[in-house]
Structure 1
Amino acid sequence: MDITFKKSKNALKKDIQRRYMELEAMEGQSLDIGKCKMEGKFITISPECVRCNLCAEECPVDAIADAKATRPARLLENCVKCEICAQTCPIRCINVVESAATIDDEVKYHLKDMKIPHRTLKMKNIKVDSEKCKGCGTCVRFCPTGAIRLEDETATIDASICIGCGACANVCEEGAIKLERELGPVIKTKELLIDQEACVACQICEENCPTDAIRLEDEKLIFSEDKCILCEVCSTKCPVGALKLKRLSHES
C-alpha cells in the first residue's frame, strides 16, 4: 500500500472551526494555519488474523490481547511499536504503516506500508489426539494453508503443508492438537544511536524504557543491547535528541 490523498486547506479550516465551534474564543475569528509536516507510524492487525497468538506470545511488553476463535488478536494502548509482532505473524496480517501529513497550500496525507522482514517459522511435529477431537471443524476454518480436514468427524493434518503457526492448537477447545515448532530470532532492522555529549542526564529515557535497557550512571547513558527491543520510546521522548533510532537496510 502506498496511498496519497489531498484536501483543500479551507476544508481543513472548516473542520477545525466546526470541531471547536462551542468555544466562544473561536467564534467569528479567522483561523490561520501555517506550513508544517507531521510524521508517524502505526501498526494494524487485519481481519485475516488466523488466531495463532504468536504475536501475543512474542510481544515483549504484553501489548496484544490474545486472539480467540470469536475474535482476532488486538493491539493495546501500551504498544511501543517495536515491530516484533509484524516480524512474527506467519501470514503477514500485521502491517506497519508510515504516515505523513503536510500542510502547505493544500493538505496532503501519505500512507505507506513498510517492508518488514519475516522471522523463520518451522513445524517440527504436530499430531491430533483422536480421543479428544470432537470434529467441530474450528481448526479447519482457521488453518491458513488448508492443511487440516475432517475425516470420520476427526481432524487430520497434512504435515507436508503445515507451517507450524499453531492456529489450530490455539482455537481447539478440547486441547486435541499438540504442536512442536521452531521460531527464528528477531531480525535487527534498527539501530539506536546515542549522543553522550548531547545528553542532559534528565533520566526520561531510563524512566520510560519498557525493558530497562537504558540507565543513567554517573551522568552517562549505559545501554544494554541485549535488553533493547528497538522500540520508539526513548528516541521519541528524549527532549534533546540524544537518542535516535536509525532504520537499517534489509531484505524483506
Structure 2
Amino acid sequence: MDVTFKKKKEVLEGEVALKSRDLEDSHEGFKGEIEDCTFEDKFITISPECVRCNLCVEECPVNAVSDSTSSRPARILENCVKCEICAQTCPVKCIHVIESTSAVQDDVTFHLKDVEVPHRKLRMELIKVNPDNCDSCATCVKFCPTGAIAVPEGEIAQIDTDACVGCGACANVCPQGSIDLVRELGPVMKTKKLLVDQDTCVQCQVCEENCPVDAIKIDGDRVVLDQEKCILCEVCSTKCPVGALKLEMV
C-alpha cells in the first residue's frame, strides 16, 4: 500500500474551530489557525484476513496483542512499542507496519506506506487430531489459510500434512482442543540496530526507566545495552531527550 490523499487547509482549520466549541474556555468566533508543519509516525495494524493462529499473541514481548478467537481477530493494543515482531511472525502477512506522514502547507497531505517486513521461518513438524475429542464441527476448516484440513461428513478432521504450514490456527480455534501441533519457528530477523552516542548521553536514565524489556542500563557515565534482550522497539530512541539513542535500518 502506498496512498496519498489531501484536503484543503481551510477545511482542517474549520474542523479545529468546530471541535473547539466543546471546550469550556472556548470563545465565540474562535478560528483555528494551523501553521505549516510535518509530522511522521508509524503504526501497526491487523487486517480482517487474520486466521486466528495467535502466533502474534504468543510472540509479542510486551503483551500488546489481544487474543483472537473464532469470532474475533487479534488486535494491536495501545501499549505496542512497534518492535515489528508480530509482523515478522504472522504466517499470512495480515499484520501491516505502516509509516504515515502528515504535512500542512497550502494543503494538508496525508501519506500512508506499507513497510516491507521480512518473515521468520515457520514449519510444521508434527500435527495430529485426537479422534476421541473431535466432534466434526469443521471450525478448523474455516480458518486454515492453506486449505489443508477437510472434515468429511460424519468423520473426524483430516489434515494434509504436505499443505500444512504449522501456523496453529486450527489448534487455536478448535472448541474441543482436539488438534496437537509441534512446529518450528525461526528467530526474529534483525532489520535495525540501535546506535548509542556515549558522548551525547547525559545519564538521565529515561531510557533505563522506560525500556519495556529491561535491556538498557546506565552504568556510571555509559549506556550499557543487552543485545540479547533488546527487541529494537522505538521506546528509548523516541524518549531520549538529547538524541543519544537512534534506531537505524540495517
SS state of the match for residue 18, structure 2? Answer: helix
Cα deviation code 1:195-216 (max 9, x no counterpart): 1111111100000000111011
Cα deviation code 1:177-203 (max 9, x no counterpart): 111110010000111011111111110
Residue number in structure 1 paired with 2:190: 188
CA distance in 1, matches of 2:229, 2:135: 43
The one-letter amino acid of 1:112's match is: K
CA distance in 2, matches of 1:72, 1:186: 23
The percent of aligned pairs where both chains have the same amino acid is: 60
Cα deviation code 1:90-113 (max 9, x no counterpart): 000100000000011111000000
Residue number in structure 2 paired with 1:229: 231
Query: Please, which of 166, 170, 173 is the counterpart of residue 172 of structure 2?
Result: 170
**Structure 2, unpaired ranges of 5+:** none
Cα RMSD between the aligned structures?
A: 1.1
User: In the TM superposition, what is the alpha-carbon distance from 1:31 to its structure 2 partner?
Assistant: 3.5
Cα deviation code 1:66-114 (max 9, x no counterpart): 1111111111111111000000000001000000000111110000000
Written as runs of structure 1 = structure 2, the 5 A alignment for 1:137-176 is 137-151=138-152, 152-176=154-178
SS state of the match for residue 170, structure 2? Answer: helix
Residue number in structure 2 paired with 1:102: 103
Contact 2:121 2:186 in 1 (8 A): yes
Residue number in structure 2 paired with 1:2: 2
The one-letter amino acid of 1:39's match is: E
TM-score by length of 2: 0.96
CA distance in 2, matches of 1:6, 1:197: 42
User: In the TM superposition, what is the alpha-carbon distance from 1:65 to its structure 2 partner?
Assistant: 1.2
User: In the TM superposition, what is the alpha-carbon distance from 1:34 to its structure 2 partner?
Assistant: 1.5
Once the two structures are overlaid, the 10-residue window that deviates more, 183-192 or 16-25, is: 16-25
Residue number in structure 1 paired with 2:93: 92
Query: Please, which of 211, 214, 222 is the counterpart of residue 212 of structure 1?
Result: 214
Residue number in structure 1 paired with 2:11: 11
Contact 1:123 1:163 in 2 (8 A): yes
The one-letter amino acid of 2:220's match is: D
Contact 1:191 1:247 in 2 (8 A): yes
Residue number in structure 2 paired with 1:67: 68
User: In the TM superposition, what is the alpha-carbon distance from 1:21 to its structure 2 partner?
Assistant: 2.0
**Structure 1, unpaired ranges of 5+:** none
Contact 2:20 2:26 in 1 (8 A): no
Would you say how many aligned residue pairs link Structure 1 and Structure 2? 248
The one-letter amino acid of 2:108's match is: V
Contact 2:195 2:247 in 1 (8 A): yes
CA distance in 1, matches of 2:51, 2:235: 29
The one-letter amino acid of 2:21's match is: M
The one-letter amino acid of 1:126's match is: I
SS state of the match for residue 87, structure 2? Answer: helix
Cα deviation code 1:27-65 (max 9, x no counterpart): 324433221100000000111111101000000111111
Contact 1:17 1:26 in 2 (8 A): no
CA distance in 2, matches of 1:25, 1:74: 37
SS state of the match for residue 67, structure 1? Answer: coil
Once the two structures are overlaid, the 10-residue window that deviates more, 170-179 or 207-216, is: 170-179
Cα–Cα, structure 1 residues 26 and 100, in superposed 2: closer, same or farther, change >3 Å?
A: farther
The one-letter amino acid of 1:80's match is: V
User: In the TM superposition, what is the alpha-carbon distance from 1:137 to its structure 2 partner?
Assistant: 0.5
